[in-house]
């Protein structure tokens, strides 16, 4: 539609502005605001250079940057996904791996609902340090936060220092899920985020069901004289 000139105030009659009722306005605002069913805050942690930012960019932008620029402090991206008929908005925080940023990044653990621990399969040290990152979670995050272990850069198999079996064993030790990923080759990145989001959603829905039992669940039922069960049935039920 073409824009009309409004240089002359007299040429613009006041009647052209239609007032919107408060009810209609609030209804429209609510409709616009309801673009998702759940909002999940996720965190990516691990040593510097393991590919946390690349994983985030692959998931949020479906892109890969070959230039390594170390994250300063913290950054985040947002992607909304469809999961089991629900729209889930994922707010994913990418943390700096260097020790000098540790006091900044640990402040973000508290509100996290899911945390991805990332190591580089070509760097033994980054794998060994996962235990330190787990300790940071235990000290700073919620006790029931969902966790997942990612062995990144799995496309570099010829440079591998950490076997897949060791990654699986460490995940079993901590009772968390494990995947090997490649941000560069786009392997398992989406699967990892969808799996973590589904686990958070299941946990949240179970908690909501526990806190809000079905209405009428405690209604008094009319007393009915119980019928005496046949003797053979009584014997069958005795285990």
pLDDT in tens, 19-45: 445 554 454 555 455 689 999 999 999
Q: Which of 11-15, 24-28, 85-89, 146-150 has the lowest average pLDDT?
A: 11-15
Highest-confidence range of 7-16, 65-74, 135-144, 146-155, by mean pLDDT? 146-155
Q: Sign (positive/negative) of CA torsion 18, 19, 24, 25?
A: positive
Tokens of 220: 């008094």
pLDDT bin (cut points 50, 70, 90) of residue 230 is very low
**Which of 106, 126, 145 has the alpha carbon at shortest distance from 48?**
126
At residue 75, φ and ψ (nearest 5 deg) are -145, 165
Average pLDDT, whole number, for the chain?
79
Give the number of other CB atoms < 10 A from CB of residue 49: 15
User: Residue 177 in contact with residue 188, Cβ under 8 Å?
Assistant: no
pLDDT greater at residue 62 or residue 126: 126
| Residue 231 in this model has a pLDDT that exceeds 60 | no
pLDDT bin (cut points 50, 70, 90) of residue 73 is low
User: Residue 113 in contact with residue 145, Cβ under 8 Å?
Assistant: yes
**Which of 135, 144, 101 has the alpha carbon at shortest distance from 117?**
135
At residue 191, φ and ψ (nearest 5 deg) are -60, -40
Structural domains in the chain plus CATH codes: 35-209 (3.40.50.300)
What percent of the chain has pLDDT above 70?
A: 67
In this predicted structure, what is the pLDDT of residue 68? 53
Mean per-residue pLDDT, 67-87: 78
Mean per-residue pLDDT, 74-88: 90
User: Residue 185 in contact with residue 152, Cβ under 8 Å?
Assistant: no
pLDDT bin (cut points 50, 70, 90) of residue 95 is confident
- Give the number of residues written for the chain: 239
Q: What is the pTM of this model?
A: 0.72
Cα separations (Å) of 232 from 226, 238, 239? Answer: 17, 10, 13
pLDDT greater at residue 63 or residue 24: 63
| Residue 229 in this model has a pLDDT that exceeds 60 | no
In this predicted structure, what is the pLDDT of residue 110? 86
**Angle (deg, nearest 10), helices 52-61 and 189-211:** 80
In this predicted structure, what is the pLDDT of residue 239? 37
pLDDT greater at residue 1 or residue 223: 223
In this predicted structure, what is the pLDDT of residue 214? 66
Give tens-digit pLDDT for 115-172: 999 999 999 999 999 999 999 999 999 999 999 999 999 999 999 999 999 999 999 9
Q: Sign (positive/negative) of CA torsion 144, 191, 158, 64?
A: negative
């Amino acid at each position: 539609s073409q824009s009309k000139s409004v240089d002359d105030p007299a040429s613009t009659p006041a009647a052209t502005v239609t007032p919107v009722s408060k009810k209609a306005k609030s209804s429209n605002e609510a409709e616009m605001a309801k673009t998702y069913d759940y909002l999940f805050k996720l965190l990516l942690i691990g040593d510097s250079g393991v590919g946390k930012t690349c994983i985030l960019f692959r998931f949020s932008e479906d892109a890969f940057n070959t230039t390594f620029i170390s994250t300063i402090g913290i950054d985040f991206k947002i992607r909304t996904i469809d999961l089991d008929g629900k729209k889930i908005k994922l707010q994913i925080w990418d943390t700096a791996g260097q020790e000098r940023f540790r006091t900044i990044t640990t402040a973000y653990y508290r509100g996290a609902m899911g945390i991805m621990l990332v190591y580089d399969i070509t760097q033994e040290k980054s794998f060994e340090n996962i235990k330190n990152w787990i300790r940071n979670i235990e000290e700073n995050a919620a006790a029931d936060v969902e966790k997942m272990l990612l062995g990144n850069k799995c496309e570099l198999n010829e440079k591998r220092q950490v076997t897949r079996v060791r990654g699986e064993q460490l995940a079993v030790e901590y009772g968390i899920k494990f995947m090997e990923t490649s941000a560069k080759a786009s392997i398992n990145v989406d699967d990892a985020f969808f799996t973590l989001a589904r686990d958070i959603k299941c946990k949240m829905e179970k908690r909501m069901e526990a806190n809000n039992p079905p209405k009428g669940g405690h209604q008094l039922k009319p007393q009915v004289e119980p019928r005496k069960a046949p003797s053979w049935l009584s014997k069958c039920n005795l285990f």
